[in-house]
């Protein structure tokens, strides 16, 4: 049960975060990475306690949840290496040049943390996108204390995770107030409007995220709101791909859209398939072997059949196949329509439905395919399955315009936590052009500042020449990377 955070308590929490911020901002790389790794170690050590709580509240299963703990601690350790490597600071120097026209002063630039950050937990990843998930890890790595708004779907897990995390940080030497938790929708609304908070990260519904986005922008001092909101993740199969490996593609699609009972933000929700190629029969056979499962919350459980019914009200939509429901579970379902209908009624046919459903969209020509793709809203991913003989340049250009990550083999469910990952896309997938997964996620919680003709003794340590000799930086336009041992 959620225990709403009151106004006085929220003010005390934000005050502690404000007091912790100067210590985080001033922390050197060795200190900050030590705090991050101590947090990762504490979560790994508490997995046997936390996983059963998570399973009881989310019903995601021990195997999935233990893997998610590993992903969560892995990304904390990744951000420790990001801090050590230091290129995220974007250290840049232009030496003074009095002969330039106009004369050029000395300028030294770097990125600094914005201040305390609000993080809104997701329902579908109770570890990796929750209290100590990617938003929290990247904010702490940037040097920003975090206040997490717990998700109502797993309150007990959120409280215990926050307690373990806060204690681990303090034990490692971080200040009190480094990571704190609040509960309740009203407290979340107040948090994003609180003057102490300088940025927010969110993963959740389009309606909830848009409401918070508007609150963040409606402040007297608007702040950046990094929301991951909704995504249909289009997939295109060419006729040649279906002819070459149709059964394998059908099996892969069935496994992907039912993974996690269809509750991944990268679920392939709209799949463009060549008309008359036999792919629908292959999908029907593959889906018949799948089974559903319990959805995360009562709200999601109630919304799933309503979303299916809304699609079926369109005259172009038919039901192709269903899997088995499983005990107390949502039943996987495949629907079909055509590209012309999608182009005409995207507001109905391209509405995201959270759960194990996908929509096959038949196309008879490249013109039909491209008209349908132009109606697809921004997504986290887009997938193209083609063969070497295909001319797919125009199709690829349309997919690139609609997604932050384009796949050419496999399926979009599963997001590697790496230096090069991009997990974000055009609206409504996200409210920004940044990523919420991978090393570059740290950029969301940093701002640039330049120092002009500053005495060396007043410069940040990392901008002084002695420190720059051992750090990646750009000087007078030339990138300089220290020699590696």
Convert the pLDDT of each residue in 329-368 to its tens digit.
789 999 999 999 999 999 999 999 999 999 999 999 999 9
In a domain, 151, yes or no: yes
168 Cβ contact partners less than 8 Å away, ≥ 6 residues apart: 38, 39, 41, 42, 43
Prediction pTM value: 0.95
Distance CA 230, CA 120 (A): 15
Torsion of CA 170, 173, 175, 181, to 10 degrees: -30
Residue 485 has pLDDT above 60, yes or no: no
Residue 460 has pLDDT above 60, yes or no: yes
Please tell me the predicted confidence (pLDDT) of residue 207: 93
Distance CA 117, CA 95 (A): 34
**Mean pLDDT within 291-317:** 92
Adjacency order of strands within the sheet including 234-237: 318-322, 333-338, 357-363, 270-274, 234-237, 379-385, 403-407
Please tell me the predicted confidence (pLDDT) of residue 183: 98
In a domain, 479, yes or no: no
Distance CA 275, CA 361 (A): 9
Distances (CA, A) of 56 to 49, 66, 228: 12, 14, 26
Q: Which two tokens stand for residue 412?
A: 């979009």
Residue 439 has pLDDT above 70, yes or no: yes
Same domain? 214 vs 343: no
**Concatenated DSSP letters of 29-68:** HHHHHHHHHHHHHHHHHTHHHHHHHHHHHH---HHHHHHH
The CATH number given to whatever domain includes residue 88 is 3.40.605.10
Please tell me the predicted confidence (pLDDT) of residue 329: 76
Pairing status of strand 379-385 against strand 146-149: unpaired
pLDDT tens per residue across span 109-147: 999 999 999 999 999 999 999 999 999 999 999 999 999
Same domain? 256 vs 401: yes
Q: Which two tokens stand for residue 96?
A: 């003074």
Same domain? 265 vs 317: yes
In a domain, 426, yes or no: no
Strand runs labelled E in 174-239: 179-182, 199-203, 225-228, 234-237
Q: Which two tokens stand for residue 380?
A: 């986290």
Q: Among 69, 178, 176, 83, which Cα is nearest to 127's? A: 69
In a domain, 466, yes or no: no
Same domain? 360 vs 225: no
Same domain? 57 vs 99: yes
Q: What share of the chain in percent tops pLDDT 70?
A: 99
User: Cβ of 387: how many Cβ atoms within 10 Å?
Assistant: 14
Same domain? 80 vs 141: yes
In a domain, 213, yes or no: yes
Q: Which two tokens stand for residue 53?
A: 């709580």
The count of C-alpha atoms lying within 13 angstroms of the C-alpha of 45, restricted to the half-sphere facing its C-beta, is: 9
Known catalytic residue at 132: no
Same domain? 196 vs 155: yes
DSSP symbol at 327: T
Cα–chain center distance at 218: 24
Task: Tell me what the pLDDT averaged over the chain comes to.
Answer: 96
The count of C-alpha atoms lying within 13 angstroms of the C-alpha of 179, restricted to the half-sphere facing its C-beta, is: 33
Please tell me the predicted confidence (pLDDT) of residue 484: 67
The CATH number given to whatever domain includes residue 291 is 3.40.309.10
In a domain, 453, yes or no: no
Known catalytic residue at 265: yes
Same domain? 192 vs 291: no
pLDDT tens per residue across span 317-332: 999 999 998 766 789 9
**Mean pLDDT within 51-60:** 95
Domain, as residue range, for 220: 7-229+431-447
* pLDDT interval class at 297 (50, 70, 90): confident
Distances (CA, A) of 214 to 192, 207, 222, 396, 400: 10, 11, 10, 33, 28
428 Cβ contact partners less than 8 Å away, ≥ 6 residues apart: 206, 229, 230, 231, 377, 378
Distance CA 396, CA 416 (A): 22
pLDDT tens per residue across span 138-182: 999 999 999 999 999 999 999 999 999 999 999 999 999 999 999
Please tell me the predicted confidence (pLDDT) of residue 298: 86
Same domain? 172 vs 159: yes
Total domains, the chain: 2
In a domain, 288, yes or no: yes
Residue appearing with tokens 């929708």: 185
Same domain? 191 vs 314: no
Same domain? 171 vs 315: no
Q: Which two tokens stand for residue 257?
A: 């859209």
Catalytic: which of 228, 280, 352, 368? Answer: 228
In a domain, 452, yes or no: no
More confident residue, 484 or 250: 250
Q: Is 103 left (phi over 0), alpha (psi -120 to 50) or beta?
A: beta
Q: Compute φ and ψ for 139, nearest 5 degrees.
A: -70, -45
Residue 23 has pLDDT above 80, yes or no: yes
Distances (CA, A) of 475 to 94, 95, 111, 469, 478: 6, 8, 16, 11, 5
Catalytic: which of 265, 280, 352, 368? Answer: 265
Same domain? 383 vs 261: yes
């Amino acid at each position: 049960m959620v225990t709403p955070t009151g106004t006085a308590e929220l003010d005390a929490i934000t005050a502690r975060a404000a007091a912790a911020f100067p210590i985080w901002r001033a922390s050197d790389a060795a200190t900050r990475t030590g705090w991050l790794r101590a947090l990762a170690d504490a979560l790994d050590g508490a997995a046997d306690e936390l996983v059963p709580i998570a399973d009881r509240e989310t019903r995601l299963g021990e195997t999935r949840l233990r893997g998610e703990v590993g992903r969560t601690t892995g990304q904390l350790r990744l951000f420790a290496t990001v801090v050590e490597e230091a290129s995220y600071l974007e250290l840049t120097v232009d030496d003074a040049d009095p002969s330039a026209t106009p004369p050029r002063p000395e300028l030294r630039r770097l990125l600094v943390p914005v201040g305390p950050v609000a993080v809104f937990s997701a329902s579908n990843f109770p570890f990796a996108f929750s209290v100590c998930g990617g938003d929290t890890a990247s904010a702490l790595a940037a040097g920003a204390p975090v206040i997490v708004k717990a998700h109502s779907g797993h309150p007990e897990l959120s409280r215990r995770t926050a307690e373990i995390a806060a204690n681990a940080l303090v034990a490692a030497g971080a200040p009190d107030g480094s990571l704190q938790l609040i509960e309740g929708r009203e407290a979340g609304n107040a948090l994003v409007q609180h003057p102490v908070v300088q940025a927010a990260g969110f993963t959740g519904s389009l309606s909830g995220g848009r409401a918070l986005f508007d609150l963040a922008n409606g402040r007297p001092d608007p702040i950046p709101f990094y929301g991951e909101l909704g995504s249909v993740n289009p997939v295109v199969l060419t006729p040649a791909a279906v002819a070459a490996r149709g059964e394998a593609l059908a099996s892969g699609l069935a496994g992907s859209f039912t993974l996690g009972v269809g509750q991944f933000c990268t679920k392939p929700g709209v799949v463009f398939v060549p008309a008359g190629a036999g792919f629908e029969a292959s999908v029907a056979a593959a889906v018949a072997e799948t089974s559903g499962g319990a959805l995360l919350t009562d709200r999601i459980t109630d919304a799933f059949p309503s979303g299916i019914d809304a699609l079926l009200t369109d005259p172009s939509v038919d039901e192709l196949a269903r899997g088995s429901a499983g005990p107390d579970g949502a039943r996987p379902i495949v629907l079909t329509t055509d590209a012309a209908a999608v182009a005409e009624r995207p507001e109905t046919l391209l509405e995201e439905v959270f759960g194990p459903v996908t929509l096959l969209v038949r196309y008879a020509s490249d013109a039909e395919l491209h008209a349908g793709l132009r109606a697809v809203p921004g997504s986290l991913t887009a997938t193209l399955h083609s063969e070497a003989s295909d001319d797919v340049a125009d199709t690829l250009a349309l997919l690139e315009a609609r997604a932050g990550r384009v796949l050419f083999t496999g399926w979009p469910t599963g997001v590697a936590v790496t230096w090069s990952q991009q997990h974000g896309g055009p609206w409504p997938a996200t409210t920004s052009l940044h990523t919420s997964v991978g090393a570059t996620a740290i950029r969301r919680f940093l701002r640039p500042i330049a120092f002009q003709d500053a005495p060396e003794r007043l410069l940040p340590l990392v901008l002084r020449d002695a420190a720059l000799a051992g750090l990646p930086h750009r000087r007078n336009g030339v990138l300089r990377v220290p020699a590696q041992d």
